[in-house]
């Protein structure tokens, strides 16, 4: 271990328990929830094995009035939930880490789609999950019952074996709804002054400590700034006052920013490492209790600085622990160069927002620990050494070469360009996406450690070249290209666009004459990021989309509001709900997505960001020549970088198997039902 990193491995006392080091995996969603306890336990167990001193669960509902279906969440509604959660606590303890559980009530944020019971909140208010329903105001009996639910859930968590029990007052959930004057206009002892609005939080801490404080630590997760200015909680105002008021009550403060989850988990496109420090740095000066916060920390030097400068006592992480569950162990063993750094793309957040299990661009094994038996640091060696040629060194080709190399294959990686990276070389040059190059950098670095993988840049391969190479197996990872015919997600009609450019053309240096019209019928990052880049270069830009908002799919990565704000502030004109229907000299023709009414707009350069086609020209001739060949990544199915990496990793894991492995599923016991 680098001695300058030793401070990160000091034990830290949290009330009646002691964390073995300063690495703290803060609560984060997995999408697995109460329905998949074995998968959830395996995921958290891997984090503990990787050296995280504290490993916490995702949000755990304390009562049926807090139901977040269809999203994956845990439950402690009654004693029958204890055994499933004990699996997770046991998996964490098996590696000497502390197990934390985040007890949760969503209040007006809980949809209750499954339980269908009325939602509750401090005041009568519309449901905050954009449903056509209303949460009812809690009366004195409701508040008393709620305190009982928290206490009962804490006792169950203790019985399940957890060491740290959370009081969760962040992210606009029920205790925070009481705390904020924006959502609490009550006139009784729980409303009005800040002391009254903080009463429920104080009582929850006291109730939880009384229930479990003899052997379990009690942590408070608090949003110290909801980013709504003086009309809400701010770190310079009431957020600071709440800490002062309750400073010594909990055993640990877990502090962040809120207003929405997208603020706390802001992507790298809109924030840097340690971006929450300006909001949370004051907390340690007001309490003797340990403090943890997050900030997408991946650099050991930044982590050490956080501790030494007194910002926090732990290094809190969610996304970095997803990208590399073994980050702490790698630092401890002097292998910091092998850290698989989070790129801040928020594919993990997209999974949660889509109500599916967790996924990660950098770590294809995440959430596959139980259902496929994948381990982020271990992979089975092939029973027989084989000679494999991988064609294309983009994200899929690099992942295939690395994983096959780790399995012991003799791998040759041929790349037609002079540099490795494929699409990442281009996309990482877009505004805010510089961290994406880490997908290339980590894999190229790790490949460099393998003697059995040879890399050949500047090596364009024809079908004849590949046949002559004589590999036992060929993997095509030749990527994809953007379509020129306007076919996208919404507009499926093939168009004649004689003078249009694609993103490929723009990256290749094609001349762009203003005004530029970017037609985005792909709806992820490309259209908006290109608009931002061209506007920064001085071009007038009009961004057109069939959807009602810019880059609409980025709502799932918690970025859409930031994207649209940035485009508007840059002076990009946004024309929503319009389809591209044609192009003529100097104009594009647009049709209203609802009425079909066609209008024309002056256009110097049309850039079509629509669909992509696989570059798989080599596949058919190789098959015809009897070559054992497979396609991975965009060459098989154009999609996200995360999907390209996963595709290649899945291929490498299954390479050489007689039959395709079956995904394990957790099923309810059927004994007595058949």
Cα 175 from Cα 204, distance rounded (Å)? 9
Measured CA to CA, the distance from residue 272 to residue 281 in angstroms comes to 16
SS3 609: strand
Shortest CA distance to 316 belongs to which of 330, 302, 329? 302
Active-site choice (59, 166, 173, 190): 173
Residue given tokens 């993990």 in the structure block: 348
- Write out the H or E segment, with its range, that includes residue 187: none
Q: Look up 173 and say whether it is catalytic.
A: yes
H or E stretch at 217: strand 217-225
Rounded to whole angstroms, the Cα distance separating 1 from 334 reads 4
The residues facing 169 across adjacent strands are 222
Q: Helices in 168-272 by DSSP H: which ranges?
A: 174-179, 194-197, 199-212, 238-246, 261-264
Q: How far is CA 567 from CA 269, 329, 532, 541, in A?
A: 13, 41, 6, 10
The distance of Cα 71 from the centroid of its chain, to the nearest Å, equals 15
Query: Which residues touch 665 (CB under 8 Å, ≥6 apart)?
Result: 371
DSSP 114-157: TT-PPPEESS-EE-TTS-S-EEEEP-HHHHHHHHHHHHHHHHHH
Do 8 and 19 form a contact (C-beta atoms < 8 A)? no
Beta bridge partners of 114: none
Long-range CB contacts (within 8 A, 24+) of 663-672: 663/371, 663/372, 664/370, 664/371, 664/372, 665/371, 666/35, 666/36, 666/37, 666/38, 666/39
Question: ∠610-615-621 over CA atoms, to 5°?
Answer: 150
User: Tokens for 192?
Assistant: 């009005």
- The residues that bridge with 149 in the sheet, in sequence order, are none
The answer, yes or no, to whether the previous bond of 194 is cis (omega within 30 of 0) is no
Residues β-bridged to residue 55: 25, 99
- Catalytic residues, by residue number, are 173
């Amino acid at each position: 271990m680098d001695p300058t990193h030793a401070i990160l491995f000091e034990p830290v006392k949290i009330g009646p328990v002691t964390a073995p080091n300063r690495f703290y995996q803060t609560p984060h969603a997995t999408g697995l929830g109460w329905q998949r306890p074995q998968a959830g336990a395996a995921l958290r167990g891997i984090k503990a094995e990787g050296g995280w001193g504290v490993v916490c669960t995702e949000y755990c509902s304390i009562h049926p009035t807090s139901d977040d279906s269809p999203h994956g969440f845990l439950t402690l509604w009654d004693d029958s939930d204890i055994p499933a959660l004990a699996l997770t606590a046991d998996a964490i303890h098996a590696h000497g880490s502390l197990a934390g559980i985040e007890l949760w009530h969503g209040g007006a944020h809980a949809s209750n789609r499954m339980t269908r019971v009325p939602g509750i909140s401090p005041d009568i208010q519309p449901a905050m999950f954009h449903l056509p329903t209303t949460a009812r105001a809690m009366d004195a009996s409701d508040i008393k019952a709620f305190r009982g639910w928290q206490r009962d859930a804490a006792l169950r968590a203790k019985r399940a074996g957890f060491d740290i029990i959370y009081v969760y007052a962040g992210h606009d959930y029920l205790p925070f709804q009481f705390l904020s004057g924006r959502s609490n206009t009550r006139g009784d002892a729980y409303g009005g002054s800040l002391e009254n609005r903080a009463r429920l939080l104080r009582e929850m801490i006291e109730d939880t400590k009384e229930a479990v404080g003899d052997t379990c630590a009690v942590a408070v997760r608090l949003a110290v700034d909801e980013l709504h200015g003086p009309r809400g909680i701010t770190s310079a105002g009431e957020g600071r006052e709440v800490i002062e008021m309750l400073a010594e009550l909990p055993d640990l403060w877990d502090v962040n920013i809120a207003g929405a989850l997208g603020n706390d988990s802001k992507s790298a496109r809109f924030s840097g490492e340690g971006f929450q420090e300006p909001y949370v740095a004051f907390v340690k000066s007001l309490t003797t209790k340990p403090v943890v916060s997050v900030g997408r920390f991946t650099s050991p030097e930044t982590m050490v600085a956080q501790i030494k400068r007194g910002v926090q006592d732990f290094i809190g992480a969610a996304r970095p622990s997803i990208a590399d569950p073994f980050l702490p162990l790698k630092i401890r063993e002097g292998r910091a160069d092998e850290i698989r750094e989070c790129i801040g793309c928020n594919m993990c957040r997209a999974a949660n927002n889509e109500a599916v299990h967790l996924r990660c661009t950098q770590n294809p094994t995440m959430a596959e620990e139980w259902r496929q038996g994948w381990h982020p640091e271990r992979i089975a060696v092939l029973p027989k050494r084989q000679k494999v040629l991988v064609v294309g060194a983009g994200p899929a080709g690099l992942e295939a070469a690395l994983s096959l190399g780790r399995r012991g294959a003799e791998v040759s990686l041929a790349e037609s360009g002079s540099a490795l990276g494929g699409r990442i070389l281009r996309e990482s040059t877009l505004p805010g996406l510089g961290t994406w190059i880490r997908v290339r950098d980590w894999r190229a670095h790790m490949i460099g450690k393998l003697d059995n993988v040879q890399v050949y840049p500047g090596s364009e391969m024809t079908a004849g070249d590949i046949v002559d190479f004589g590999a036992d197996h060929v993997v095509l990872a030749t990527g994809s290209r953007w379509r020129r015919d306007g076919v996208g997600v919404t507009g499926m009609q093939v168009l004649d666009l004689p003078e249009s450019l694609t993103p490929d053309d723009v990256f290749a240096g094609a001349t762009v004459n203003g005004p530029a019209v970017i037609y985005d019928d792909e709806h992820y990052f490309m259209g908006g990021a290109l608009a931002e880049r061209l506007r920064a270069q001085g071009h007038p830009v009009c961004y057109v989309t069939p959807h009602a908002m810019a880059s609409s799919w980025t709502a799932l990565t918690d970025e859409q509001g930031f994207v649209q704000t940035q485009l508007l502030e840059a002076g990009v004109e946004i024309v929503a709900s319009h389809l591209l229907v044609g192009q003529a000299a100097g104009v594009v023709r647009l049709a209203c997505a609802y009425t079909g009414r066609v209008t024309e707009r002056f256009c110097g350069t049309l850039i079509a960001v629509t669909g992509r086609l696989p570059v798989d020209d080599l596949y058919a001739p190789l098959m015809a020549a009897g070559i054992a060949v497979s396609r991975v990544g965009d060459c098989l199915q154009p999609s996200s970088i995360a999907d390209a990496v996963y595709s290649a990793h899945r291929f490498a894991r299954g390479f050489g198997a007689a039959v395709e492995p079956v995904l394990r599923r957790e099923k309810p016991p059927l004994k007595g039902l058949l």
